[in-house]
Structure 1
C-alpha cells in the first residue's frame, strides 16, 4: 500500500462538497415523495433541530425508492413526529403564514429549552477554571482525559437526526462550546500532568483543513505526558473524500503521520450508524489511507430506533469493520437530549440486541462494549439482567467515572422494562447508587 505521503492515484474522480441546509429542505423532501403538509411539518422540526447533508449522502447512501422509510434517510432528514405534535403544529402554522423570522426563532427556542440541550452537565460541570477564568471549549470530564471543541470544527459534513450535540449547530452562541487556541490547551495540559489523552470533538474536527487542525494538534506533540490524541468523526461515513479525493487529503494524512512519528497514539474514533455507510468502495480506500499513517480506527455509534435497532444490523457492521482492520469500540444508548423520546430504545431491549449481536460474531469483534450510557457520573454499561434474591435486576458497571475510584465497580438497579436512561432507574439492594451522595440521617 502506498505511503500516506504519496498522492492518491485511484480512479475516483474528485467530488465537490456542497452543504444542503434547511433552505433546500422542501425540494429534497419532495424527492422522498412527501406531500405539502408532511413537508411543512418536517420543515417545522428543522427550525428546532439542525439539518445539513451533502451530495455523497444523497447520491451514494440513501435508497430513495424506500424513502421516507429508508434508514439513512431517517438518519439525516427530520421526521414530523420527532417533536411533540403541538409544537410542530404551532411552528408549522407560523411557517404557513410567513410569520417573521424572529417569531419563528422565538417559538423554536422555547421548544429547544425543553429538550435538555446540554446533557450530562456539559456546561455546568465540565468547563474547568483556569487562570483568571475558564478555558473555552475544554471539558476535563475524567482525570486522564480532556475533550476539546475547536472553534473551526463546530459543524459536520452532515447532521444526524439523533445527534446529542445538536445544540452546537442551531446558531445560539450561549449553547456552543468552542475553543480558539491550541497553545492555551497545551498550557492547560502542562498544568494538569494527570491528563494523558486528548479527544478532539465538536461538531466534527475533520471539517477543518489540515492547516487549521495542525494549529490545534502540533502544540501538543511536545508534551511528554500525552500518550493519545483522539479524533471523534463521522467523516468516513459522510464524506470519505476527506482522505481520498479532496485537494487537502494528502496534507491531512501527513499531519496524522506527524502525530504518530512524535510517538503519540492517534486514535481515530469513527462513527458508523448503519452497515450501508460501509458499503461504498471509497470508504475502504479512505480507511486504508488513514491506517497507513499509523492511526488506529475505533468504531462507535448509538442504538437508534427505526435506524439500527436490530441485532443483524450490528453484527453486519462489526464484521465489516473488523474485516477492514477497524476496532469495534462502543454501542451507546441514545442520550437524554433532543428527540430522545422518538429514537430511544428501552435499556432491556438494548441489552437484548447487544447480547444477540455479540453472540453472533467472532472474538475479534468482541472488543465492543455496551450498551453504555454517557451519563453525568460517567459511562454506565448495562452488563446484564439477573435474578438475585428473588429480585430481577439490571447489572450495571461504570466503565468510566468522574470519581475514578468508581471505575469498574458493579452495581444494581431494579429491573424496569420501560427505562431508557439512568435517571429512570432505582437502586436495588441499596438506598442509593454508588455515585450518589450518602443520605443524611435524621
Structure 2
C-alpha cells in the first residue's frame, strides 16, 4: 500500500477490473464470481482500500453487512438476465454486445425514480438549466459535473444511473453562473443542496468554485452537502493534502452567515468505529458546520432496530444529529433490498423507543417519492380494519405538508405506489378526475 508523508494511506480505488480478485477474498467459486461480474455490467461497482481493509470483515463475507453494502450480489437482478450476461462474459463476447444487453436490463430498473431527471427541471425563460433540480419551493439541488462519482458506491444507491457511463442517464453541470442566476431569479429559494455522486470527491479548489458564488446570495440561509465520505474516506477531512484548506473553506461559509450542514450517509454502526471518523467529525464540527445523518433501511444490511439505535446513539455522542431513515427507493435492485413498509415502521418504532429524546430528531421511515417525502407514522385499527397513517414531511405543494392521511394496510407494500387510499377516493397529492379535465 502506498503511503503519504504522514504515514497514512493514499486513496486507492477498486473498480470492476479488480472485482474478480477481490471476490476471491470472499471465498466465491468460479461460477459465483462470474455471476457477480455479470451483475456488475449493469450496476456500478467502485470501492477503495479503506473500505476493503478497514470496514469489511472478510471472515464473514459474503454475509458481512459491509461487504453486502459495496459488493454486487448475484441475485440482485433477475436470474435470466444474470445468466445471459454471464454467458456473454464467459464467451468473451464483444464489449458492445455485452453493453447492449446491460443497457437493456438497466432500462427495466427505473433509473430515474420520482422523475428525478424528467421532472423538476429548472428553466430560465425557455432554456433548461442542466445540473439543477427544483422539486420543493425553498430548496434547489446542485449536481456539480466534477462530483459525479463517490469514494465507493453503495449497492443500494438510487442514483446508480449516474455512474454507469451512459450520458443519457446523467444530469450534471459546471455552469456555476447559470446556476446562480437561476437562484437569484427565485427568491423563494433559501436552501441549496450540493449533491451527486458525492460533492466531497471534489478537491477544495473545485468545491470553492461552487460555494464561493453562493455566499454572495443573501437569500440563502443554508447550504447542504450530501456525502458518504465520512464513512468511506474520512481521510478527506484529516490527512488528504487539501483537508485543512477544505475545512478553512467551511469556516468561510459559516462566517458568511450561512448554516453549513453535512448530510452524512451512515448505513451501519461499523462505519462509525474508526478513530479517523472521530477525528473527521470533530474537525468538521470545529469549523462551525453541523452534521446530520441519514440512510435508507436496507434488507440484509441494517434491517434490525438494534443496528439503528446503536447508530443513532453513537452519532449523537459524536455530536451529529440523527435526521432520516429512508425507505429504499423504487429503482435498481429494489426487490433485493426493499423492506415492507409495515416492517420498516416496526424497525423505526422499536429503534426510536430505545434512544433518548436527543436522538429523536430522526424522522422516518420516509419515502422520497414523486409528490414528496411521505412518512409512515404508524398502523392503526378502525372498526376492525387496519390502516397505515402517513403524512408528507415535504411536498411539491407546501399546503399538504404535515396533514395526515390514510392508506389500506398491506403487509407486502414496499412503496407508495403499492398503497390504496382509505376514507377517500384518492390521496391528497393526487388530482381528481375533474381536476384532470380542467383546461390548463
Superposition TM-score tier, normalisation by shorter sequence: over 0.9
Correspondence 1:406-417 to 2 at 5 A: 406-417=400-411
Shift of residue 181, structure 1, vs aligned partner:
2.1
- Whether 1:181 and 2:175 are equivalent positions in the alignment is yes
- Whether 1:233 and 2:227 are equivalent positions in the alignment is yes
- Whether 1:165 and 2:159 are equivalent positions in the alignment is yes
- Whether 1:427 and 2:435 are equivalent positions in the alignment is no
> Contact between 2:23 and 2:33, CA under 8 Å: does it hold in 1?
yes
Give the Cα–Cα distance (whole angstroms) in 1 for the partners of residues 345 and 331 of structure 2.
21
Shift of residue 124, structure 1, vs aligned partner:
1.5
> Contact between 2:123 and 2:182, CA under 8 Å: does it hold in 1?
no
> Contact between 1:183 and 1:216, CA under 8 Å: does it hold in 2?
no
Give the Cα–Cα distance (whole angstroms) in 2 for the partners of residues 408 and 102 of structure 1.
50
- Whether 1:83 and 2:73 are equivalent positions in the alignment is no
Unpaired runs of 5+ residues, structure 2, are none
Shift of residue 411, structure 1, vs aligned partner:
0.3
1:325-364 per-position Cα deviation (integer Å, ceiling 9, x unaligned): 0000000000000000000000000000000000000001
Unpaired runs of 5+ residues, structure 1, are 1-10
2:433 is paired with a residue whose SS is: coil
Give the Cα–Cα distance (whole angstroms) in 2 for the partners of residues 209 and 230 of structure 1.
17
Name the residue aligned to 1:133: 127
Give the Cα–Cα distance (whole angstroms) in 1 for the partners of residues 165 and 55 of structure 2.
27
Name the residue aligned to 1:405: 399
Correspondence 1:240-319 to 2 at 5 A: 240-319=234-313
2:427 is paired with a residue whose SS is: coil
1:372-416 per-position Cα deviation (integer Å, ceiling 9, x unaligned): 000000000000100123321000000000011111111000000
Q: Please, which moves more after superposition, 421-430 or 381-390?
A: 381-390
Runs of 4+ in 1 over 6 A off after TM superposition: none
Q: What's the TM-score once normalised by structure 2's chain length? A: 0.97
> Contact between 1:236 and 1:287, CA under 8 Å: does it hold in 2?
yes
Count of residues in correspondence between the two structures? 432
- Whether 1:155 and 2:149 are equivalent positions in the alignment is yes
Name the residue aligned to 2:39: 45
1:440 is paired with a residue whose SS is: helix
1:136-165 per-position Cα deviation (integer Å, ceiling 9, x unaligned): 110001000000100000000000000000
> Contact between 2:208 and 2:249, CA under 8 Å: does it hold in 1?
yes
**Which one of the candidate residues 53, 56, 67 is aligned to 1:59?**
53
Give the Cα–Cα distance (whole angstroms) in 2 for the partners of residues 309 and 392 of structure 1.
23
Give the Cα–Cα distance (whole angstroms) in 2 for the partners of residues 188 and 388 of structure 1.
48
- Whether 1:192 and 2:186 are equivalent positions in the alignment is yes
Give the Cα–Cα distance (whole angstroms) in 2 for the partners of residues 180 and 131 of structure 1.
20
- RMSD of aligned residue pairs (Cα, Å): 1.2
Shift of residue 212, structure 1, vs aligned partner:
0.3
> Contact between 1:379 and 1:401, CA under 8 Å: does it hold in 2?
yes
Correspondence 1:287-366 to 2 at 5 A: 287-366=281-360
1:48 is paired with a residue whose SS is: coil
Shift of residue 13, structure 1, vs aligned partner:
3.0
Name the residue aligned to 1:35: 29
Q: Which has the higher contact order (CA 8 A, sep 6+)?
A: 1
Shift of residue 93, structure 1, vs aligned partner:
0.2
Shift of residue 12, structure 1, vs aligned partner:
6.8
1:45 is paired with a residue whose SS is: helix
1:387 is paired with a residue whose SS is: strand
Name the residue aligned to 1:212: 206
> Contact between 1:14 and 1:246, CA under 8 Å: does it hold in 2?
no
Give the Cα–Cα distance (whole angstroms) in 2 for the partners of residues 391 and 147 of structure 1.
41
> Contact between 1:181 and 1:216, CA under 8 Å: does it hold in 2?
no
> Contact between 1:80 and 1:88, CA under 8 Å: does it hold in 2?
yes
> Contact between 1:128 and 1:134, CA under 8 Å: does it hold in 2?
yes
Name the residue aligned to 2:112: 118
Give the Cα–Cα distance (whole angstroms) in 1 for the partners of residues 332 and 324 of structure 2.
21
1:258-295 per-position Cα deviation (integer Å, ceiling 9, x unaligned): 10010000010000000000001110000000001100
Q: Please, which moves more after superposition, 410-419 or 12-21?
A: 12-21
Shift of residue 18, structure 1, vs aligned partner:
1.1
Name the residue aligned to 1:439: 433
Give the Cα–Cα distance (whole angstroms) in 2 for the partners of residues 118 and 151 of structure 1.
18
Name the residue aligned to 2:388: 394
Name the residue aligned to 1:70: 64
Give the Cα–Cα distance (whole angstroms) in 2 for the partners of residues 150 and 376 of structure 1.
23
Give the Cα–Cα distance (whole angstroms) in 1 for the partners of residues 315 and 283 of structure 2.
15
Shift of residue 179, structure 1, vs aligned partner:
1.4
